[in-house]
Amino acid sequence: MRKIYIFVALCLLTVSVYSQQKPQYTQYVFNNYLLNPAVSGIENYLDVKAGYRRQWTGLDGAPVTTYLTANMPIGAKFIDGDATAMPAAGGTNPLSRSYTQEYMAAEPHHGVGLMVVGDRTGPITQTTINATYAYHLGLAPKLNLAVGVSAGINNIGLDRSKIQLGDFADDPAIANSNVSQIKPDLGMGVWLYSADYYVGASAQQLLKQNLYFSTNGAYNQSQTVPHFFFTAGVKLYVTDDITFMPSVLVKVINPVPTTFDINGKLAFRDRFWIGAAYRRNDAVAAIAGINISSLINVGYSYDFTTSALRTVSNGTHEIVIGLLLNNRYKVTCPMRTF
């Protein structure tokens, strides 16, 4: 067993360049801000979300991810009454046909935000803190474009207490180990959106950094690589009260093969939604959420593992809690994201 621990640790340290280095999310559709800083300030309130993801339950040392995000608009014309400002008590359901027909591009405005993401896999921990900025402008009467940037730090740590070295106590791969290192982080993105579709592209971890936990240069082979995300979604009306929203996420991380997620979500007015997702060569998932009030909403997903890990994994749980603060128009679901 002790050899297994050190083997896993060394694989994470020396081969991380060949795998996705950022956390996986099933409910990114509930919070695209996690992937794209251009979403900062897209809604007319302070959007706060907290998430917890436990991946591959039953497998010791499997990834556990937690995050807290907050973003808000800046611009009096947008905040105090833009072209689609809704009357008190919410007015028109943002998921209705009539809202789409009356939709107008938002007033030009700024968006700012902050995200804190913690990810733990075995003895390796990563904590990323990023501030974000975006600018939104109207390209056409019903079409907006946002451009955003994120900047911050990424702290990578090694918990040696979780590595049982046994006879390898002087293993040079982590001897004289640098158990904590802080690296700069930079990302950017664009987001094109209207009442019934969106298209986005973003990049994370643009600054390549060497990762090492040893003073022995022979073992300092790990490096961060850029992650590119391409997303798109559309809103289709089944009835006046039921909306179907398919979306896709394509992830490009060189040198691993390109992969993708496909999602479908059925929303019942602005109150609750259910859906399903497929992640290539990894999992299928069931998703559900409810907009409890104009203050709080909750989303939950469960991933059924389809990869070879299904023999040792009991699936993946993910829960997200959202708060709509300073929600002066009392909407119960997002107006400009879906």
User: To the nearest whole percent, how much of the chain has pLDDT over 70?
Assistant: 81
Identify whether the C-beta of residue 65 lies closer than 8 Å to the C-beta of residue 308: no
Q: What is the pLDDT of residues 273-292, one digit of tens each?
A: 999 999 998 899 999 999 99
pLDDT of residue 219: 59
Provide CB contacts within 8 A for 322, sequence distance 6+: 30, 31, 47, 48, 49, 296, 297, 298, 299
**Distance between CA atoms of residues 56 and 61, nearest Å:** 9
Render pLDDT for 236-264 as a digit per residue (tens, 0 to 9): 999 888 999 999 999 999 888 899 999 99
Amino acid identity, residue 236?
Answer: L
Q: Residue 6: its pLDDT value, please? A: 39
Q: Is the pLDDT of residue 226 over 70?
A: yes
pLDDT: is 138 or 86 the higher one?
138
The two most distant CA atoms of the chain are separated, in Å, by 71
- Mean pLDDT score, 303-320: 87
Query: Over the stretch 124-180, which tens digit does the pLDDT of each residue have?
Result: 889 999 999 999 999 999 999 999 999 999 998 887 766 666 655 566 655 555 577
**123 phi and psi angles, rounded to 5 deg:** -85, 0
Task: Assign 266 a pLDDT band (cuts: 50, 70, 90).
Answer: very high
Average pLDDT over residues 54-67: 88
What's the pLDDT score for residue 221? Answer: 62
Residue 88 pLDDT greater than 70, yes or no: no
**pLDDT higher than threshold 70 for residue 41:** yes
**Would you call 140 exposed, middle or buried from its count of C-beta atoms within 10 A (0-12, 13-18, 19+)?**
exposed
Mean pLDDT, range 74-81, rounded to an integer:
79
Supply 211's token pair: 């990762």
Per-residue pLDDT reduced to its tens digit, 11-33: 444 334 345 678 999 999 899 99
Which DSSP letter does residue 134 get?
E
Phi, psi for residue 305 in degrees, rounded to 5: -65, 130
Q: Which residues contact 60 (CB under 8 A, 6 or more apart)?
A: none
